[in-house]
Every structure is written in C-alpha cells, then in structure tokens.
C-alpha cells in the first residue's frame, strides 16, 4: 500500500510542473516625490527654495513604462496654501527643470519644454525615469519683512495621458 | 559600474513615495444602470504622508464633467491598492476626456513646498 502511494505521488507531481506566469506591459505613469522642498529666508522679504538662498528644491520623479504616452505638467506655486495673515501683495516666480534622467535621450526634454503661465510641460517621449526640480520664490510687497510664521505652498505635479 | 550602483540605489531609495493610477486608457463598459457607462480604475498609494485622493472628470478644456463613484475622495492607506469604478452618463461620454486622481496634501508646521501629484487617464482612447 505504501509503495502504491509513493508511486502515485511521483506520477502526480509532473502535472504541477507546467504553471504559466503571464503578465503584460501597459502604459503607466508613476509620480514619485523624491524630495519635498523647503523655503529659505535669505532676506526679510523673501522666501526661496533655491539652495543659494538656504532653501531646498523639491524633486519629483516621473516613471513611465511606455514611450510617448504621457506629458509631465508641473505647476509652481503662485500663492501660499497656508501662511500668517498678509496685508500686501506677494510677487511669485518659479521654474521647473530636468535634473536627472535614466535614458540619455531624455536630456532633450529640457530644451523642448513648453512654459504656459506657471506650468511647465514636458513631453515624455521615452520610457524610463526623469527627475524634475521646481524653484519657487516669493517676495513680499515693497520689500516689507514677511510676518513670522509658517509658510506652505503647493507644487502640482501632473502626469497626463496623451 | 558606479552608475549602475547609483541607479539601483536611487530606485531603492526613491521608490517609497509614489502615486500610481492605471489603466492609462481605460475601457468603457456598460453598467447595471440604463444609459450609464462605467470605467474600472486602480489606484496605488505609496506616499506615506498622503491618505486621500480626489477623483475628477474633465473635458478637453479641463472643465468638470459630472460623474458618480462610491468615493469622490478616496481614503487609501500607505502602500495600499484600491480599485474603484466611475459611472458616467452616456450623454456625457463624447465630452469626457481626462479621468484624474489628485493627492490631497495636509497642512504642515514647517515652511516648505508640498507636492500634490495628479495622474490623468484618457477616456477617448489611445493616440493613433
């Protein structure tokens, strides 16, 4: 009886050997927040993410699995999402640049970028990863000192299917 | 060799904070409701600081289009996948183009820039 069970189990095992693993590659975009930026306060009236001003540039990474399926639209801030009460206007400037790429051909993204108001649009024509950094600067009206407190602004990073 | 190590390190280090939505070009299916179609989407959150994502539907000019879903704002945990269906009236489908999820950022007590991520799929089909 024991021999029969052993022989049957040996016969049965090969049937389990052919297991298929299937998968598919589809267009997919992943937005990675590599580094949250922070504002430096180089002079009393200014907040800036530029390292020379004591700030930290936010870095966003886009991973796309299929070439030419998405655009990266990155919008730098034009207002604070939270701040102490401000009585004067704030002058905003900003820009977004390619800082690192996983494929050499992606270096062309920087020259081909399109800026519409405060949004920079990159056509992600190659599959792989691209890192972008966004500079943001806010200067309080008529060189007034900014009131003490916490200031927060939002960078909008969008990945839009073409 | 060094560049490979840097690339691998970067992938390991930076893969911890991501927003992902699929498919990019969802299939529009019939629903159980007359004159209403549905699209099935999947969302993945590995942004530890984010717990909520908002669903929006837009036309080609980024004007809002009405839709229905179990969640308008989805609560989703860290490293969690969530599937959701979006129901759209058939009469709105010719205008519906972008189906997006946007992360909802939280107020902080540090002077900083926050990053709101938004991923948009297209309902009008893959580019030719």
pLDDT tens digits, one per residue of B9-32: 333 334 458 999 999 999 999 999
Domain membership of residue A12 (yes or no) is no
Residue B23 lies in a domain: yes
CA separation for the pair A37, A138 (Å, rounded): 14
Going by pLDDT thresholds of 50, 70 and 90, the confidence category of residue A4 is low
Closest partner residue to A161 among B7, B20, B24, by Cβ?
B24
Q: Is B10 contained in some domain?
A: no
Q: What is the pLDDT of residue A142?
A: 79
pLDDT tens for B83-110 read: 999 999 999 999 999 999 999 988 777 7
Maximum separation of any 2 CA atoms in chain B, in Å: 59
Whether residues B110 and A150 touch (CB distance < 8 A) is answered with: yes
**A30 to B7: CB separation less than 8 angstroms, yes or no:** no
CB contact under 8 A, B114 and A158: no
Distance from CA of B3 to the nearest CA of A (A): 10
Q: What is the CATH number of the domain that holds A34?
A: 2.60.40
Q: Looking at the domain assignment, is residue B88 inside a domain?
A: yes
Query: How far does chain B reach from its first CA to its final CA, in angstroms?
Result: 39
Residue B3 lies in a domain: no
State how many domains chain B has.
1
**Residue A140's domain spans which residues?**
26-161
Which residue range(s) make up the domain with B64?
Answer: 17-122
Residue A18 lies in a domain: no
What strand order describes the sheet that includes B73-75? A114-116, A119-124, A70-75, A152-161, B112-122, B98-103, B52-58, B73-75
Nearest to A160 by CA among B108, B122, B55, B11: B122
Task: Establish if B5 belongs to a structural domain.
Answer: no
The ipTM value here is 0.82
Domain count, chain A: 1
Whole-prediction pTM: 0.84
In a domain, B35, yes or no: yes
Q: How far is B103 from chain A (nearest CA, A)?
A: 10
The CATH number covering residue B86 comes to: 2.60.40.10
Buried (b) or exposed (e) across A80-116, using 16+ Cβ within 10 A?
A: beebeebeeebebebebbbbbbbeeebeebeeebeee
Residue B114: inside a domain, yes or no? yes
- Residue B56 inside a domain? The answer is yes
What chain B residue is nearest to A61 in terms of C-alpha separation? B14
In a domain? residue A39 = yes
Q: B107 at the A interface (CB within 8 A)?
A: yes
């Amino acid at each position: 009886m024991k021999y029969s069970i052993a022989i049957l189990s040996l016969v049965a095992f090969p049937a389990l050997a052919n297991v298929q693993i299937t998968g598919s590659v589809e267009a997919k975009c992943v937005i990675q927040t590599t580094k949250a930026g922070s504002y430096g306060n180089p002079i009393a009236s200014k907040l800036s993410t530029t390292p020379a001003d004591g700030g930290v540039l936010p870095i966003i990474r886009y991973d796309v699995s299929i070439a030419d399926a998405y655009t990266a639209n990155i919008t730098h801030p034009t207002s604070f999402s939270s701040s102490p009460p401000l009585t004067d206007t704030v002058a905003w400037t900003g820009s977004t640049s390619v800082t690192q790429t996983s494929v050499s051909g992606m270096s062309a993204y920087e020259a081909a970028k399109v800026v519409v108001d405060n949004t920079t649009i990159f056509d992600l024509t190659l599959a792989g990863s691209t890192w972008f950094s966004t500079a943001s600067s806010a200067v309080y009206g008529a060189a007034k000192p900014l009131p003490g407190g916490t200031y927060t602004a939002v960078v909008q990073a969008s990945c839009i299917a073409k | 060799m060094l560049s490979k190590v840097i690339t691998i390190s970067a992938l390991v280090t930076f893969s911890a904070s991501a927003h992902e939505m699929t498919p990019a070009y969802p299939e529009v299916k019939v629903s159980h409701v007359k004159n209403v179609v549905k699209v099935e989407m999947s969302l993945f959150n590995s942004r530890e600081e984010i717990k909520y994502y908002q669903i929006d539907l837009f036309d080609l000019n980024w004007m809002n289009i009405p839709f229905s879903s179990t969640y308008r704002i989805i609560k989703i945990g860290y490293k969690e996948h969530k599937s959701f269906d979006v129901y759209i009236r058939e009469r709105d489908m010719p205008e519906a183009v972008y189906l997006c999820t946007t992360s909802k950022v939280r107020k902080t007590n540090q002077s900083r820039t926050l990053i709101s991520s938004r991923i948009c799929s297209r309902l009008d089909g893959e580019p030719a």
